[in-house]
Structure 1
Amino acid sequence: MSLAYLLDSANWAFSDPSGFPQRILEHLGYTAIALAIGFVIAFPIGLLIGHTGRGSIVAINLGNAGRALPTLGVLMLALALVGIGLVPVTIALVVLAIPPILATTYAGVQAVPDATVDAARGVGMTGSQIAWRVEVPIALPIIVGGLRNAALQVVSTATIAAYVGLGGLGRYLFDGLATLEYDQVVAGAIVIAVLAVVVDLTLAGMQRLLVAPTG
């Protein structure tokens, strides 16, 4: 199949609202909003459960349930409840982002050695100080790994925004299929795949910078 659509410089013009640069920015915008909201919800819950050791069964079950939910089904439900627009798309993507962030935050904090926590408590640290100054820094590699997992899933699924008439790279898939322009579909799929890899590599680089090697 021809890659003429992908390689056409006219489709890469920044001034074109339907060109690749604008669609990529829209796609990243949907992804960033969902990840930010998902992190604000999931990280404190995971930290609290990991720190206190209470509610772990509930967290695990909710995380598994969240992974099992079909994103398109959640989108349809959100559409029925709040109507068309960015809100239902964001809800569907947030539901997708929460489980990996919640699970890895809980697992990372829970994995901090008891001896380390006891030593921190022995020098007079409070519970919140132990959580933020001891447990979170030690658990950071696992937490960032969960964020990478969530980002990869969300950026790959943000194409659903086009399903409700919004922008993003999903426009190439839905519009191309509607008009039988398969060059457009292939081009969109390739750009989405490359974008997902770039996002993952970027977060991997951030992970290496945040988690400095010891020794």
Structure 2
Amino acid sequence: MRVTFVPDPEADDALERAELLLTLRKRGIRDPLLMRAFEQVPRERFVDPACRSLAWVDQALPISCGQTISQPAVVALMTEALDLKPSHSVLEIGTGSGYHAAILGQIAERVVTLERFRTLAQAAAERLRRLGYTNIEVVVADGSAGYAPRAPYDRIIITAAVNEVPPALFDQLRQGGVLVAPVGPPQDTQMLTRFALTADGIVKREMVPVRFVPLLKGVAQVL
């Protein structure tokens, strides 16, 4: 279910939200569905309470388990590159706080998001449930293996750095589908890359340099 939120008068971030939307427009983000999603999703609900005052600033912020909630401009760029439609099913690798999943869920029909840290997955699932999303499924799983039970997907997005896209993810991408990922050395700058699966093979387009935490295999045993 795509959700319409009524701002809390005691926590009204209207000005900061408007400034962020203006920043995204200046960066060239034009998709009206995407801009509407950024307007609707309350980012302050996804950040650590200590970072609450920075919720609408265009910067990445730390969350639990040594992970981050991505910079809004990067979230917007990656999502716009997906060319997302309301009929699409999406696989997200790396749930984190659940913020990017919420942005995707505002547009797509169905989102499956995978997280290797159980505590992050549980917190994100509860957060999304409280916000009213019924079209987002949070799964504790190894993101490099994808999630075959819901495949194929129209769109796949990887929110962690990979040296190369795991073959299992291309196997779960529908013909005509799009995959977006930061590709490059995990401890260095990566190149945000768009892959389109066509009848003639995979068409690759490099976009902009980015920095993401690495995609790790397996499910975390402690957190």
More strand by share: 2
- Identify whether the pair has TM-score above 0.5, normalized to the shorter chain: no
Q: TM-score, normalised by structure 1?
A: 0.21
Structure of higher CA gyration radius: 1
Query: TM-score, normalising length from structure 2?
Result: 0.20
